[in-house]
Amino acid sequence: MLIWSWAGQYCRPSSTTGHQMGPLAAGRRLVACLLNISEARNRDAVEKVARAAARKRHGGWREGTSVLNIFSDRDYNRSVITISASVESVETLPAVAGEAVLSACEEACRLVDVRNHIGVHPCLGAVDLIPLYPLGEDVGLEECGIEARVLAARLTELVPGTAAFYFGSADMPLHRGLAQRRKEIGWFRKTTDLSCTQPDVGGRPQSRYGLTGVGASPYVMNCNVTITTEDLSIGRKVASGLRESTPGGLPGVQVLALPHKGAVEIACNVESVQGAPPAEHWPSFSVGGSTYYHIPASLISTRVAELAGQHGVDMEGALLVGFTPQECRLLAEHAISQGIGEYWREQHGARM
Ligand SMILES: *[C@@H]1O[C@H](CO)[C@@H](O)[C@H](O)[C@H]1NC(C)=O
Ligand SMILES: *[C@@H]1O[C@H](CO)[C@@H](O)[C@H](O)[C@H]1NC(C)=O
């Protein structure tokens, strides 16, 4: 498990290694949803949203589901809730994974009014992002894409005034990526007027809910690196040097430079890329018979340090938000086979 380290290095506490897999874990079909909501400063509201995923509407734990992590960033006023769910067959996919995520979204819509959002991170929705990631060999991307569409349709029915756009495998037939969709919709601009937006599902978005991105893709890690400057223009240069689209950029890496606590944060979305890993130590996994790899987080921080150094700026620290795909799968298997609905509580705040 990677955690923040002031020395700017990643460290791996021994307590998370050696998880014993329960007998039920093998063969479970697992998905993860890294639900992004536009609230962090009201801790109680964030925990209520997480609880709605883990518990059934009328009490009791939701079987086959665990909330693995809550990552709240107060400056951004944004939280990422990692929900994992097991699905025993294709038919039960909407019933298990979907129900947990849907309940959490409903609760977020009740508690978060994005009209009042204050925070430097861009966002358009009270529930800003619902990405579904297959966690293992036996759940396919296409299946997750269909599930994402079902989820979006049900959310817009249950909470009138919500609206969503699709990305990744849910964006049929184009399969446009999240960054592209966000650009098209104006997510990166703070002042986007949603009344002119045509959502993929739902009617005209009501301003209290805004617009939600719903989709499926291979796992995306979030990895943020802080550099010791307040000069956002340096941050932007570092960000553009990292971007996949820049020559010498890093595969699968999408980057934003944001002001954060008197420094600049290089916020990276690290996508998993299809194919064999370019180097032996790059982590890889397989989904639906295809191999995917992602760049190790340590290489991102090394590259940020290099690029920042060219501007006379140091790297302050690096942080993985949530888990690597491998960790997420191991923890999901562990938590679900042990019936731990709120695994995040057992982490003693290590990631907050
Ligand atoms: C955080 O954002 C929510 C809406 O997204 C808003 O209601 C709340 O007031 C914000 N918190 C602060 C302290 O700005
Ligand atoms: C880290 O970066 C992601 C984007 O990749 C962002 O959504 C998140 O809020 C950031 N978190 C922190 C604490 O910087």
Query: What is the 324 CA–ligand 1 centroid distance (Å)?
Result: 29
Alpha helices (runs of H) in 290-324, residue ranges in sequence order: 297-309
Token output for 296: 């190790």
Is the per-residue pLDDT at 185 higher than 90? no
Query: What is the 75 CA–ligand 1 centroid distance (Å)?
Result: 10
Query: What is the 113 CA–ligand 1 centroid distance (Å)?
Result: 8
Query: What is the 73 CA–ligand 2 centroid distance (Å)?
Result: 8
Residue 192: Cβ within 10 Å count? 16
Query: What is the 121 CA–ligand 1 centroid distance (Å)?
Result: 12
Is the per-residue pLDDT at 215 higher than 90? yes
CA distances from 236 to 118, 232, 323, 330 (A): 22, 6, 25, 35
In the chain, beta strands by DSSP E: 29-37, 65-73, 78-87, 127-134, 163-168, 211-216, 220-227, 253-260, 263-271, 273-274, 284-287, 290-293, 315-321
Token output for 183: 């650009």
Q: What is the overall mean pLDDT for the chain?
A: 86
Sign of the dihedral defined by the CA atoms of residues 51, 265, 306, 9, in that order: negative
Q: How far apart are CA 252 and CA 273, in angstroms?
A: 6
Token output for 239: 């960000």
CATH of domain 12-218+327-346: 3.30.990.10
Q: Is the CB of 36 under 6 A from ligand 1?
A: no
Buried-exposed string 300-316: b where 16+ CB fall within 10 A, e elsewhere: bbebbbebbeeeebebb
What ligand is nearest to the CA atom of residue 78?
A: 2
Is the per-residue pLDDT at 13 higher than 50? no
The pLDDT value recorded for residue 68 is 96
The pTM of the full predicted model, rounded to 2 decimals, is: 0.87
CA distances from 146 to 158, 225, 287 (A): 18, 34, 16
Token output for 270: 């690290």
Q: Is the CB of 324 under 6 A from ligand 1?
A: no
Query: What is the 109 CA–ligand 1 centroid distance (Å)?
Result: 13
Query: Closest residue (by CA) to atom 10 of ligand 2?
Result: 267
Query: Closest residue (by CA) to atom 8 of ligand 2?
Result: 267
Ligand 2 atom nearest residue 71's Cα: 13
Q: Is the CB of 113 under 6 A from ligand 1?
A: yes
Q: How far apart are CA 99 and CA 53, in angstroms?
A: 8
Pocket of ligand 2 (CB under 6 A): 73, 76, 78, 121, 222, 224, 265, 267-269, 321
Query: Closest residue (by CA) to atom 2 of ligand 1?
Result: 117
Query: What is the 267 CA–ligand 2 centroid distance (Å)?
Result: 5
> Given the structure tokens 């620290």, which residue do they identify?
317
Q: How far apart are CA 111 and CA 105, in angstroms?
A: 10
pLDDT category of residue 274 using cuts at 50, 70 and 90: very high
The pLDDT value recorded for residue 19 is 37
- The domains of the chain are located at 12-218+327-346, 222-319
Is the per-residue pLDDT at 3 higher than 70? no
Question: pLDDT digit string (tens) for 275-284?
Answer: 999 998 999 9
Query: Does residue 283 have a cis bond before it (omega within 30 degrees)?
Result: no
The pLDDT value recorded for residue 348 is 53
Query: Closest residue (by CA) to atom 14 of ligand 1?
Result: 118
Query: Closest residue (by CA) to atom 14 of ligand 2?
Result: 224
Q: How far apart are CA 223 and CA 202, in angstroms?
A: 32
Token output for 121: 């991170």
Question: pLDDT digit string (tens) for 124-147?
Answer: 899 999 999 999 888 889 989 999
Q: How far apart are CA 157 and CA 144, in angstroms?
A: 20
